Structure 1
Amino acid sequence: MSDRVEFGSWPTPVERAPRLAAALGLGAGDLWIKRDDLTGLGGGGNKVRKLEWTVGAALADGADTLVTTGAPQSNHARLTAAAAARTGLGSVLVFPGGPGASHSGNLALDGLFNARVVWAGQVDAAGLDEAAREVCARLRASGARPALIPFGGSSRLGARGYERCGEELRGQVPGLDTVAVALGSGGTMAGLVTSLGPDAVLGVHVGAVAEPDAAVAALTDADPARLRIRTDQVGAGYGTLTDPVRAALKLAARTEGMVLDPTYTGRALAGLAAAVASGDVRPGERTVFLHSGGLPGFFGHPQAPAFAESAADPAG
């Protein structure tokens, strides 16, 4: 019997994107968008599929509080707080650094969902995980029953959500050749690889983890050497807005009226554009771009809103 709790609206739609396809150098009928930004809960996004499984397991274990980690503008943290609100649980979000002057973007929604934020100071990934475990220990000492949801929702259990997504895609786009997806903590790509095979999934590394191939391989039985991963879109780091991403944000908006975020989906589209330019993705192939959401992070990014405000052509 499954412990999955249903949070989303399934299946999410796929939409043809002929103008974007042509701009990328593909045939007008080659490209579809998988709209996992429309998953429903908490503003939507890919983490909803993972949380159906991880929160389901937490509820089955009798948890009354969800604890997770991430960057301050984490989409996963925002959706964990939303899942907690939906199921009547408390939520604690453990972030590196300290509170800044801005509380926009995902941080604003974290507060709206009544999440408690704990700032862990200047810590690396291991230190952040240890800080979350200490939060769980304090909660247990006070009589609470916390469940620690993994970074990015990425575990073998969470990846089952994207196994189901791959099955949806098989029915929606028969004969698909490539699904392009942002690769953050690894669970989204891992689930797709499990259901579609490693040759059909192109992951675009965003800089969230040090070794993206190892992160994906830990969550799937696929041979790491067969994983298709592009690492050329990180630029100066996870939080930076690169020139290829600027171009991708404008391209998606101006060809399809589609809004991407500067950290995940913007990098994923920049990576797909680079893959077409290099011949890794070719005209005539059935290609899907997985839109994994993340719009609130656009408004919390230190550079993206100003870039967007100044992006209009004065002559237009």
Structure 2
Amino acid sequence: MPPQLPAGGAAAAAAATASDRLTLPAPFSQIPFYPLRYPHPSPIHPLPHLTSSLNRNKSERNSVSSQDSPRITLWAKREDHSSPLAASGNKYRKLEYIVPDILNSHNTSNNNGNKVTTLVTEGAIQSNHTVQVAAVASSLCLDSLVLLHENTGAGLRTTTDRASFLRTGNVQLCKLLDAEVRIVPPGDDSAVVEDDLVGPVKVLEELRGRGKVPYWIPSGASLHPLGGLGYARCAFEIAAQEKSILSLSVSGGGGGGRFDYIFVACGSGSTLAGLIAGFKLLEKTEAIIQNNGRLLPPRRVIGILTSPTKPRAYHEERILRLARATAGLIGLDPERDITPDDVRLDHRFVGAAYGLFDPQTKAALETLAHVDGVVVDPVYTGKVLRGMMHWVAEGEIVKDWSARVGAQGISGVDEVNVLFMHTGGQSALGAYADI
């Protein structure tokens, strides 16, 4: 059962629901929600120069004329412009559904009627998630403690300026936000997380011994029971934006009036899983509205893996599990409505290690900055950008789209709209001295 909204949070939740004008079906609409973002959707805008360049490359590489294949138009969903809080990015959407539970946790037996005083989380040295948790703690007048693991990823190991990597970027922001920052060296068992749902037992016991009441948020907020709800909600936001934005398409094409492909990073997993569940619920709603008439193929959400530490099958199972958990909360049948076919992961762009800024990702990052003036990060969105560019330039989207619309006997769709989920992370750029 989702937590009940605490006293003082009901007005905020009502204001949030009214301000973003989303119509969510029950029971999704009844889940407590605490606004951390602006009272309007994060913007979506076209990437005109990257679009032109990649469409040209697609035709040249595949010897296909513009008359023979649909034009692909690229757009960016700017989650890095979604909140007034520090280092805006995708974690704030997740935390909007977790905050009511934080404020309600004094009612649980674990806290013996005492209100939470301290948010505790963990991540790699340049974790974006930890900054956003620290910012939320500040906004709620709570303390925060972040555990930054030296042995997570290759960023620290491969940097040419170790001292700078340990003090700049997101580390600097966490400290500015008054978080207690602990750098955890390899072999230090004091902050070991044996169970993601339980957290680092020794650290939490230490805080309780100091009179604190800690609340554990797993890395990336993905394994929190409510972690997928934010991006299930985002699916409805994207659908609402489609109606006005795509009628103003810069290319003037006759697309289906929606975003057909959505590319997003897959790290801890609940951003992707939430989108999968949210779009599945949305598609069921759309099918009812359109009376089961001729529909385009479902929107395809493609996750770009950002770490090679686990095989793709491991991530596929994890995403399926997270998507089904979210589906059960928002009114879907987890087993029937969410299937393995809904989980689309591409592992070709992970590079040699998590957090390692490889030359191909650097080239993609520089390309977007040079042609459209948009900056992405080296760990997540840079790899998503690289993957999306590959799918367009190599004709993989056209091939996939043609097969799907052909199977449904649909013709006359001459534009495919592709959405790049910019989930933030630029605050870590300062630590990557080689950029």
Q: Supply the RMSD in Å over aligned alpha carbons.
A: 2.5
**Amino acid aligned to 2:420:** F
User: Is 1:260 the counterpart of 2:376 in the alignment?
Assistant: yes
**Contact 1:35/1:290, CA 8 A, preserved across alignment:** yes
Identity of aligned residues (%): 34
- Alpha carbons of structure 1 residues 107 and 28: separation in structure 2 relative to 1, 3 Å: farther
Helix, strand or coil for the counterpart of 1:219?
helix
**Contact 1:42/1:82, CA 8 A, preserved across alignment:** yes
1:199 CA drift (Å): 5.4
Aligned mate of 1:204, from 289, 293, 304? 304
Which residue matches 1:311? none
Aligned counterparts, 1:165-180, within 5 A: 165-173=234-242, 174-180=257-263
Aligned counterparts, 1:175-254, within 5 A: 175-197=258-280, 200-207=300-307, 210=310, 211-221=314-324, 222-254=338-370
1:123 CA drift (Å): 5.5
Which residue matches 1:313? none
Is 201-210 or 19-28 further displaced after alignment?
Answer: 19-28
**Contact 1:178/1:287, CA 8 A, preserved across alignment:** yes
**Contact 2:76/2:421, CA 8 A, preserved across alignment:** yes
Deviations 1:159-203 (A, max 9, x none): 111011111111112422111011110011011101124852011
Distance (Å, rounded) in 2 between the aligned partners of 1:158 and 1:95: 21
Aligned mate of 1:76, from 117, 129, 140? 129
Deviations 1:51-108 (A, max 9, x none): 1122331122131100001001000001100100010010000121399522010000
Distance (Å, rounded) in 2 between the aligned partners of 1:170 and 1:13: 13
Aligned counterparts, 1:77-96, within 5 A: 77-96=130-149
Which residue matches 1:116? 180
**Amino acid aligned to 1:120:** V
Aligned counterparts, 1:86-165, within 5 A: 86-97=139-150, 101-102=163-164, 103-122=167-186, 128-130=192-194, 132-155=200-223, 156-165=225-234
Give structure 2 stretches of 5+ with no counterpart. Answer: 6-30, 59-69, 106-114, 157-161, 243-256, 281-297, 325-337, 399-413
1:142 CA drift (Å): 2.2
Aligned mate of 1:32, from 51, 75, 81? 75
- Alpha carbons of structure 1 residues 29 and 69: separation in structure 2 relative to 1, 3 Å: same
Helix, strand or coil for the counterpart of 2:278?
helix
Distance (Å, rounded) in 2 between the aligned partners of 1:288 and 1:169: 10
Helix, strand or coil for the counterpart of 1:203?
strand
Distance (Å, rounded) in 2 between the aligned partners of 1:218 and 1:73: 27
Distance (Å, rounded) in 1 between the aligned partners of 2:367 and 2:89: 21
Deviations 1:120-168 (A, max 9, x none): 321599x742473321121122221110001101134121110111111
Which residue matches 2:111? none
- Alpha carbons of structure 1 residues 12 and 264: separation in structure 2 relative to 1, 3 Å: same
1:118 CA drift (Å): 2.2
1:215 CA drift (Å): 2.7
Distance (Å, rounded) in 1 between the aligned partners of 2:37 and 2:321: 26
**Contact 2:125/2:183, CA 8 A, preserved across alignment:** no
Distance (Å, rounded) in 2 between the aligned partners of 1:107 and 1:69: 12
**Amino acid aligned to 2:234:** C
TM superposition score normalised by structure 2: 0.65
Deviations 1:8-46 (A, max 9, x none): 113111101111112222777722110101122112011
Helix, strand or coil for the counterpart of 1:215?
helix
Distance (Å, rounded) in 1 between the aligned partners of 2:41 and 2:383: 25
Which residue matches 1:310? none
Aligned mate of 2:434, from 299, 306, 314? 306
Helix, strand or coil for the counterpart of 1:114?
coil
**Amino acid aligned to 1:191:** G
**Contact 2:90/2:423, CA 8 A, preserved across alignment:** yes
**Contact 1:49/1:162, CA 8 A, preserved across alignment:** yes
Moved over 3 A (4+): 26-29, 277-280
Helix, strand or coil for the counterpart of 2:264?
strand
**Amino acid aligned to 2:259:** L
Distance (Å, rounded) in 1 between the aligned partners of 2:89 and 2:262: 16
**Contact 1:184/1:209, CA 8 A, preserved across alignment:** no
Which residue matches 2:423? 292
Distance (Å, rounded) in 1 between the aligned partners of 2:386 and 2:359: 9
**Contact 1:21/1:28, CA 8 A, preserved across alignment:** no
Give structure 1 stretches of 5+ with no counterpart. Answer: 308-316
Larger Rg: 2
Distance (Å, rounded) in 2 between the aligned partners of 1:228 and 1:166: 16
**Contact 2:309/2:354, CA 8 A, preserved across alignment:** no
**Contact 2:97/2:227, CA 8 A, preserved across alignment:** yes
Distance (Å, rounded) in 1 between the aligned partners of 2:51 and 2:397: 12
Deviations 1:278-315 (A, max 9, x none): 433238211100110001111122xxx433xxxxxxxx
